[in-house]
């Protein structure tokens, strides 16, 4: 068992399990589970409220996790809001950043490759306000094409995925954000798929906001991070209101905290933040020990196995920058294929992957996606090859 695989209790219990769905959710290593458990067992108290020592210590821990997670993407703690994940981050931005400035006749642009989380929140506000919701097409490689030609003087915001969750294809976001900045258009990046695979630096990307989810980088579910450039954050309206984000409350009026605390209403997901900070540390350690090169090698092996299966068609992919490949067959439903492979202990993800506009353009019935994590192994890919060769669904 590899040095990474053995750090996941799920694989110590199921050593032969070939898990190919890390793009949906990664398995969680012991070190992350231990950090969460230790916080809850020893250090828990509500934060930002208590004057007793345990609460002050919990507050200091929570804020240290914010510093760690912010540092992971080259941001400062003043620009990092903890959310439930990318979906909540995009809803927050749509309501707090976009809605207050969007007028009838304005427009918002996304690309065809977006996950529904980076489509529906913007589409809804546009429909409600009477603004236009524009969708930029993709080129033959699956990258966003010609997005700047869709920008005009009524464009308020562009929200773009860094890497497609179906194709893994990476968009040139730094280049696009620089052009948007010159035109005074807000830029939002969905980094849900890229955060675990690429070193992210929000200054280098030059975006106004960027979101990712903990569970896609070896952290727990229910926690994610939203970076917002400080000057942009200052212009945003509160999202949810309640305890924690409020300063003064009177019968007729109230005032809210400035900065990131103003966007974290209610008791935060403290155990989740502990897990996310530990996951970031785990990931940084993996990278320092060669996980990116390891995953590129495995990606090539997986690519060669899938390319050899003549009855399946491969969709465009990133060549390994994001270790995701999707395949399809016009007459075999991907769910049937997934069930067939599952009988051999191979778990892959079938369907439309919360990206219906993209899938509807690429295939008639969805696709089967294979994605890798640091615990993936050559043995997993050999198991996949055997599963596909023996699959009773393959056309004769
Ligand atoms: C590209 C992309 N964006 C957004 C999301 C939504 O993330 P979450 O479900 O963690 O909110 C996903 C999840 O699959 C994704 O892959």
CA dihedral 212, 216, 220, 221 (to 10 degrees): 70
Instruction: Find out whether the beta carbon of 86 lies less than 6 Å from any atom of ligand 1.
Output: yes
Which pLDDT does position 396 carry in this prediction? 80
Which pLDDT does position 41 carry in this prediction? 98
CA of residue 251 to ligand 1 center, whole Å:
40
Instruction: Find out whether the beta carbon of 214 lies less than 6 Å from any atom of ligand 1.
Output: no
Catalytic annotation present for 354: yes
CA of residue 68 to ligand 1 center, whole Å:
22
Angle between helices 334-342 and 378-389 (to 10 degrees): 120
Which pLDDT does position 1 carry in this prediction? 78
Sorted by where each starts, the structural domains of the chain and their CATH numbers stand as: 5-20+290-389 (3.90.1150.10), 32-284 (3.40.640.10)
Phi, psi of 83 (to 5 degrees): -130, -175
Which pLDDT does position 215 carry in this prediction? 98
Which pLDDT does position 2 carry in this prediction? 86
CB atoms within 10 A of CB 361: 11
Which pLDDT does position 216 carry in this prediction? 98
User: CB-side exposure of 146: number of CA atoms within 13 Å?
Assistant: 9
* Strand positions, DSSP E, 115-272: 132-136, 155-161, 186-190, 209-213, 224-228, 246-249, 254-256
CB 213 within 8 A of CB 194: no
- Per residue of the chain (396 residues), what is the pLDDT tens digit? 789 999 999 999 999 999 999 999 999 999 999 999 999 999 999 999 889 999 999 999 999 999 999 999 999 999 999 999 999 999 999 999 999 999 999 999 999 999 999 999 999 999 999 999 999 999 999 999 989 999 999 999 999 999 999 999 999 999 999 999 999 999 999 999 999 999 999 999 999 999 999 999 999 999 999 999 999 999 999 999 999 999 999 999 999 999 999 999 999 999 999 999 999 999 999 999 999 999 999 999 999 999 999 999 999 999 999 999 999 999 999 999 999 999 999 999 999 999 999 999 999 999 999 999 999 999 999 999 999 999 999 998
CA-nearest residue, atom 12 of ligand 1: 192
Instruction: Find out whether the beta carbon of 194 lies less than 6 Å from any atom of ligand 1.
Output: no
Is the model's pTM score more than 0.85? yes
Separation between Cα atoms, residue 176 and residue 111, nearest integer Å:
12
Regarding beta strands 155-161 and 346-347, do their DSSP bridges make them parallel or antiparallel, or are they unpaired?
Answer: unpaired
Of the candidates 232, 227, 288, which has an alpha carbon nearest to the alpha carbon of residue 66? Answer: 227
CA-nearest residue, atom 13 of ligand 1: 24
Query: Which one of 177, 207, 354, 367 is the catalytic residue?
Result: 354
């Amino acid at each position: 068992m590899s040095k990474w695989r053995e750090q996941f209790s799920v694989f110590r219990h199921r050593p032969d399990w070939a898990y190919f769905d890390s793009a949906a959710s990664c398995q969680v290593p012991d070190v992350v589970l231990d950090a969460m458990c230790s916080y809850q067992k020893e250090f828990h108290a509500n934060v930002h409220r208590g004057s007793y020592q345990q609460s002050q210590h919990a507050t200091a821990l929570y804020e240290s996790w914010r510093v760690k997670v912010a540092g992971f993407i080259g941001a400062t703690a003043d620009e990092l809001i903890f959310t439930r994940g990318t979906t909540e981050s995009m809803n927050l931005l749509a309501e707090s950043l976009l809605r207050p400035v969007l007028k009838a006749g304005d427009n918002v642009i996304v690309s065809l490759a977006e996950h529904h989380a980076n489509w529906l929140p913007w589409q809804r506000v546009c429909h409600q306000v009477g603004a236009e919701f524009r969708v930029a097409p993709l080129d033959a490689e699956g990258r966003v094409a010609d997005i700047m030609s869709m920008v005009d003087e009524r464009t308020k915001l562009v929200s773009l995925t860094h890497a497609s969750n179906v194709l893994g294809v990476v968009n040139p976001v730094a280049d696009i954000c620089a052009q948007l900045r010159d035109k005074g258009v807000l830029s939002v990046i969905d980094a849900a798929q890229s955060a675990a695979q690429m070193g992210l630096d929000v200054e280098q990307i030059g975006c106004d906001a960027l979101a990712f989810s903990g569970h896609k980088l070896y952290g727990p579910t229910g926690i994610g991070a939203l970076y917002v450039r400080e000057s942009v954050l200052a212009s945003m309206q509160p999202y949810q209101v309640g305890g924690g984000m409020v300063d003064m409350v009177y019968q007729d009026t109230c005032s809210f905290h400035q900065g990131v605390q103003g966007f974290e209403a209610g008791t935060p997901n403290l155990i989740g933040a502990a897990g996310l900070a530990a996951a970031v540390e785990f990931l940084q350690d993996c990278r320092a020990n060669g996980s990116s090169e390891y995953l590129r090698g495995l990606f090539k092996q997986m690519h060669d196995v899938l390319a050899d299966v003549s009855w399946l068609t491969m969709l465009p992919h990133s060549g390994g920058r994001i270790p995701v490949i999707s395949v399809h067959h016009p007459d075999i439903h991907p769910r049937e294929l997934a069930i067939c492979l599952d009988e051999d202990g191979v778990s892959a993800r079938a369907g439309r992957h919360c990206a219906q506009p993209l899938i509807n353009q690429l295939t008639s019935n969805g696709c089967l996606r294979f994605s890798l994590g640091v615990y993936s192994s050559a043995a997993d890919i050999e198991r996949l090859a055997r599963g596909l060769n023996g699959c009773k669904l393959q056309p004769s």
